[in-house]
Structure formats: C-alpha cells, structure tokens
Chain A
C-alpha cells in the first residue's frame, strides 16, 4: 500500500487540481466525530465540513444510514479517530458510498490514531474481554499534545489533497498551534489540584484526559468495555465508592447516566456528565471551550 502512496498523492493532487478549477478550492470534509470536525475547522475554516455523529451519539454504535452514505459520496477527505472505533459502520459506508477518493489512507482517508502512540494497546484480544480495541484506546482527543500531533498530520493531509490551499492550511495550523500551546499550561495549572484524585467513570472514554491530568480511574461503571452497567456490578461498586477516596462519578454526554445516578445516590458522590466532544454541552463550541468546560466542571467538584 505504502509503495503506491506517492503515485496516489500525485493522482489525488491532479484530481483535486481538476476539481479546483471547477469547484472553487473548497475541500469537502467528512468527520466521523465532532472533535475532528472541530479540528478540521481550525485548519481549514473555508472547507465544507460535516460531522457524521454528534457528542450525544456513541461513536461505537452508529447506523450506516443513507444520509451518511450520501455525505461520504461527496467527500474529498474523511477524518476519523481510527483504532477500530468506527469498525462497525465505516467499512459499510465506504462500500456503499462508492467514493474512491476516500478509500485508503494513501489518499483521502485520515485516522488520527495512526499519527500518535495510543494507550492500552493489547497483544491479545478476546471477545470475552468485551468491546476492546487491540490498536489501543481510540478516545485520544482529550490529550492536548497528541491532538497537536494529529493537527500537524491533518494539515499535511489537507495540503496533499489540495496543494493550492497548502499555504493557507499551514498558516492556520501555525495559528492553532500557538493558541493551543498557550492554552496547555493554563489548563494544567487550573487542573493541578486534580492530580492524584480518584474517580469512577463509564468506559475508558476519558483515558487520555486522566493520563494527562494524573487522575486515577479506580472503577468502571461498565462491567466490561461496551457492556452497560448491570445492577450486580453497580452493587459491587457501592463498596468501592464508600472507601472515602473517590472524588466523583463521571459519565459522558452520550452515556446513560442512570447507573451513575443510582450509585451517586447511595454513596453521596457527585455525578458529573462531562461533554464527550464539541457540542456535548452548551459551553463546548470548539476544542478550546471543550477543554475549558471539562476542566472547569472537574475542578468545581472539589
């Protein structure tokens, strides 16, 4: 596959050059999740960007529905988390959309996870372990430094697909990088008090956030990844919660909060519904405000 990449990039360049004259240099971007729509927006504000899912939708379980096929059919670039997060629907969309521009990562397909080192890669995966990913945890957008690596790679990808816009993407990337690098120490300072805190959370959705801020997830509301909280499992968590060292119970915008609320009521622990992505609450309108919102909510618990 890699051998052909140069050829394909040239071909892609030719194609987009051809389209450019016809369609005004506007990249059509299909993002699998809203965080990547937001990132694409930072680098290519002129692009036509569509997000296949919202922060209210579990990206593991998306229907390969007609509207998504229609959007992918028109896309020049498909941006997804990767690491098999979208394996239950993306291959079906690709087959149904018949769009050869977004078939392969050699041309208009981009997986964020391929450009960073994912956490929790597994040597061996078995279905009895639940819905786990051998390629590591795909919910990587809450690690600011990894996101910067992804932004760099995405900008390169956009430049390869649309050489005429390359200077523009580079300028926007530089602008984004500056603002992002200024924000990181501010977030870290704000979250300093969270270091070493213990939480109970739902799934490994915030694995990268906890890794970054030094928060420890001591228990999972899910008995196994992808398996919703059962009453017997929740009952076990009551004991753990009452040891006195747990700060809060965390769920995300697309997860059912009933299990968390049940546990919260029994243990007097606060339950937080954190936005999983841009649009997950009213404060989260872009990547910056998403990080702001999540860190503010966490620090306000204390």
Chain B
C-alpha cells in the first residue's frame, strides 16, 4: 500500500491547490474536475456482511480527478480512503481511460473501473439513498465491484434506449476463499497441502456481459431494466474432504468484506435489475420518486473434491446434496424526495447463502429492513438518519438487531453529473 500512499498524496496536493472556481469551467487537461466526498457516521450496532461498524466512523472518503484528455480520450482517477479497526485503507477505486470519439455508438473503457453489471454497481456510494449497499451487494460484489480490465459498449441508434457491453477483468477480488492458504496460515500440516498443490487461479478471472433497455412513459415517468451475466473462473470454492474447515470460512468472509472482495462467490452470477423514476411533469427539482430493485443468483459455488484418502461413495453423496446449491439475494427500494430539502426511503432485502462447515454446507439467511430520512441543504450536502433491522440466521455475531445510523455525505469541488 505504500506506493499507493505516494500517488494519493499527489491527489491530495492537487486538491489542495485546486481553486474553488475550477468546477465552473470546462474540464480540460490544464483544468481538470477535482472533487472530494466526505462521509462520516455514528451507528449503534455492527452491520452484517461487511457493512458499517458500531460507533463513530468514516465511510469512503473519495478524491477524484477527471478531465477530457484530448478529443478522443477522457480519464478519471478516484482514490478512496477507508478506516476499519483503527487502520486506514487506501485504494484506487477508479483509474481509467474512456474513448469519446469512436464511431457507431461504440465505446471502450480500460484500466480500473466499476463494472456496469446490475443497477447500483456502477454508481458511486455517495449517491446512494441508504447508509450501506444492500446485503446482496455486500455478499456478492464486495460492496461494489471494481477491478482492472477492459470494457466494450455499444449503444443502438434506436428511440428505445438499448445498450450492451462486455467486460473482462483480472478478477482477483472475486476469487473464492482458498481453503489451502487458510490452513497454512494457521500452521496446520503443510506437507499435506503441498501434496495437493496450491490452487492455480486464472489470471484473467472475470468475464461479464450486460444489456440495458430504457425509456419514458409520458412526461413524468422514466424506466430502465437490465440483465447481466458474470462468469468468474475462480469463483468456485474447492473443498477437499477430510480437512478441517470449521468456522474459518466465516471469519474469512467478514474480513474480506472490508477489502472489497466478494464474500460469497460462485462460477456464474446472474443479475436482473430495474429502476423507475417519477417526477411531476418530469421536473425533478421539488418532488421525485425512485423505485428500484435487483435480483442476484450465484451458482456453482462449491466443488467437493475428494482428498487422497477419500472414497468414491462419499463423493457421490456430496454431489447429490450440494451440487445444485446456489446463493441468492434481492432488494427492493423506494425513495421519495418530497421537498428539495427532504427525502425518505424504505428498503427491504434478503440474502440466502451457505456457509461451509467441515464437509457440509449450512444455510444462512439475512433479512434487512431499512428506513431512511435525509435532509439535503443543497445538492452537495446530505445528513441522513436511518433505522435498520437485520435478521440473521446462522450468521456469526447477529441474529435480530435494531440499528440506528446517523450519517453525513457531502461533496466538494466539481459538479458530478449523476447517472440515471
């Protein structure tokens, strides 16, 4: 992380020098858009699946620089700082170039960027209407999935909005938790692992494809639906029988949540999403309503391989009981801004996963009900009060918790143009 520190201090220095009127002028190489997001909170309990923790804390503090590089390329760098357990984590969330001048509705993005699968994933956390991403995102996308790779998109020349895209990523943070490594860390018999050999991960691990459609209904309503598929070559957890696995998978998951790695992975992920927005006469200044929802299904999650001492019979047993297990998650959210200064939201979501215990899987279930009330002094400042009820089955640390969060999210610097 130290090399990142250096880069980040450059970002910070750039921000310090940026004059406040920079945002009002054209972004070019000599005058980039520079922005920062401040996010702080107080919470009365811990959220599951890598959500925010109890007490005072900071969310993602974001520093971003973006500009048109020339008439063909646009570039953006976003650094995020996060603190967990007293340690500050620094990461580059975005560092990409995007073509702006390709013909025929084509576009290429390369570098590190947010995947465009699903609805929320390509949106920055500070635009959310709730304190944390839905459980499904925390479980399957590591909160929001960004990675090193390349994307090709196409927008069709039709009145009905229709776009499609394919992405290829390194996929490191979507790798399944490696059971061998875990044992090595804990000082178990290392010879045995060498016998099996460490897992060979694919260096290009994630492939995705997505399509989105959208349009208007009259003057007041707009909609978009999307379908996404994500193939994760390293997503399946390889379980070798006869080794002790108890409880470790869970610990690993909790930790991984903070490092933006997916907690629950599988080979195939399918996502369906929709968003519907309404404003009187399409005028978003005073009132508007946003209803959105997403469904995730993650399949081919575990592979039960025989150890050297295993029996064929046992193997068949497990194939039968676990072969078609899949993870699932969804949420439905409604947010109504009833005046320029106030908005209220309600969200309900579930996550169904399995936890590995020895050679068998225990089902886990998370149910989250959230109510939020936000005060917006301007477009750039929000103070949010949120109540969350989380019900967990077979999760470590929570069963039925009522949590209250108080959060501020404020942006300074460039006007961010927001996505639909």
Q: Could you tell me which A residues sit within 8 Å of B by CB distance?
A: 1, 4, 53-54, 56-58, 60-67, 69-71, 73-74, 84, 87-92, 94-100, 103-104, 106, 122, 124-127, 130-131, 133-135, 226-228, 254-256
Residue of A nearest to B153 (CB): A98
Asked if A95 and B281 sit within 8 Å, CB to CB, the answer is no
Residues of A near B219 (CB, < 8 A) are 54, 56
Asked if B417 and A90 sit within 8 Å, CB to CB, the answer is yes
Residues of B near A133 (CB, < 8 A) are 24
A110 to B340, CA, bound (A): 31
Asked if B155 and A97 sit within 8 Å, CB to CB, the answer is yes
Query: A90-B417, A95-B74, A227-B378 in contact; A70/B159 too (CB < 8 A)?
Result: yes
Q: How far is the CB of A278 from chain B (nearest CB, A)?
A: 15
A256 to B159, CA, bound (A): 31
A254 to B219, CA, bound (A): 13
Residue of A nearest to B159 (CB): A70
Asked if B283 and A67 sit within 8 Å, CB to CB, the answer is no
Asked if A65 and B155 sit within 8 Å, CB to CB, the answer is no
Q: Give the residue of B224, B284, B417 whose beta carbon is less than 8 angstroms from that of A92.
A: B417
User: In this assembly, does B102 line the interface, its C-beta being within 8 Å of a C-beta of chain A?
Assistant: yes
Q: Give the residue of B24, B214, B341, B380 whose beta carbon is less than 8 angstroms from that of A66.
A: B214
User: In this assembly, does B15 line the interface, its C-beta being within 8 Å of a C-beta of chain A?
Assistant: no
User: In this assembly, does B107 line the interface, its C-beta being within 8 Å of a C-beta of chain A?
Assistant: yes
Query: A61-B285, A88-B417 in contact; A70/B222 too (CB < 8 A)?
Result: no
Q: Give the residue of A66, A94, A100 whose beta carbon is less than 8 angstroms from that of B103.
A: A100
Q: Give the residue of A64, A98, A126 whose beta carbon is less than 8 angstroms from that of B155.
A: A98
User: In this assembly, does B56 line the interface, its C-beta being within 8 Å of a C-beta of chain A?
Assistant: no
A103 to B72, CA, bound (A): 9
Q: A64-B418, A70-B161 are in contact. List 8 more A-B contacts (CB 8 A).
A: A69-B163, A74-B157, A98-B106, A103-B100, A125-B21, A127-B380, A134-B21, A228-B286
18 residue pairs from A and B, CB less than 8 Å apart: A56-B219, A64-B419, A64-B420, A65-B420, A66-B213, A67-B159, A70-B159, A70-B162, A70-B214, A70-B215, A84-B415, A89-B417, A95-B74, A122-B21, A125-B20, A134-B21, A226-B378, A256-B286
Q: Could you tell me which B residues sit within 8 Å of A by CB distance?
A: 20-21, 23-25, 71, 74, 98, 100-103, 105-107, 153-163, 212-216, 219, 222-224, 277, 281-286, 339-341, 378-380, 412, 415, 417-420
A8 to B104, CA, bound (A): 17
Query: A56-B281, A88-B415, A127-B412 in contact; A66/B222 too (CB < 8 A)?
Result: yes
Asked if B105 and A87 sit within 8 Å, CB to CB, the answer is no
A134 to B19, CA, bound (A): 13
4 shortest interchain CB distances as A-B pairs = A66-B214, A66-B161, A134-B24, A92-B417
A57 to B103, CA, bound (A): 32
Asked if B215 and A57 sit within 8 Å, CB to CB, the answer is no
A69 to B212, CA, bound (A): 12
Asked if A92 and B155 sit within 8 Å, CB to CB, the answer is no
A122 to B339, CA, bound (A): 30
Query: A65-B222, A91-B417, A100-B100 in contact; A56/B283 too (CB < 8 A)?
Result: yes
A2 to B283, CA, bound (A): 36
Asked if B412 and A100 sit within 8 Å, CB to CB, the answer is no
Asked if A125 and B222 sit within 8 Å, CB to CB, the answer is no
Residue of A nearest to B411 (CB): A127
Q: Give the residue of B23, B212, B213, B285 whose beta carbon is less than 8 angstroms from that of A60.
A: B285
Asked if B417 and A65 sit within 8 Å, CB to CB, the answer is no
Residue of B nearest to A107 (CB): B71
A135 to B26, CA, bound (A): 10
A73 to B101, CA, bound (A): 12
Residues of A near B281 (CB, < 8 A) are 54, 56-57, 254
Residues of B near A227 (CB, < 8 A) are 378
Residues of A near B224 (CB, < 8 A) are 65-66
Asked if B215 and A127 sit within 8 Å, CB to CB, the answer is no
Residue of B nearest to A123 (CB): B21
Residues of B near A1 (CB, < 8 A) are 71
Residue of B nearest to A71 (CB): B159
A100 to B74, CA, bound (A): 13
Residues of A near B282 (CB, < 8 A) are 53-54, 56-57
Residue of A nearest to B285 (CB): A58
Asked if B101 and A100 sit within 8 Å, CB to CB, the answer is yes
Residue of A nearest to B71 (CB): A104
A58 to B417, CA, bound (A): 15
A73 to B222, CA, bound (A): 18
Residue of A nearest to B157 (CB): A74
Q: How far is the CB of B165 from chain A (nearest CB, A)?
A: 11
A27 to B249, CA, bound (A): 61
Residue of A nearest to B70 (CB): A1
Asked if B161 and A58 sit within 8 Å, CB to CB, the answer is no
Q: How far is the CB of A125 from chain B (nearest CB, A)?
A: 4
Asked if A70 and B419 sit within 8 Å, CB to CB, the answer is no
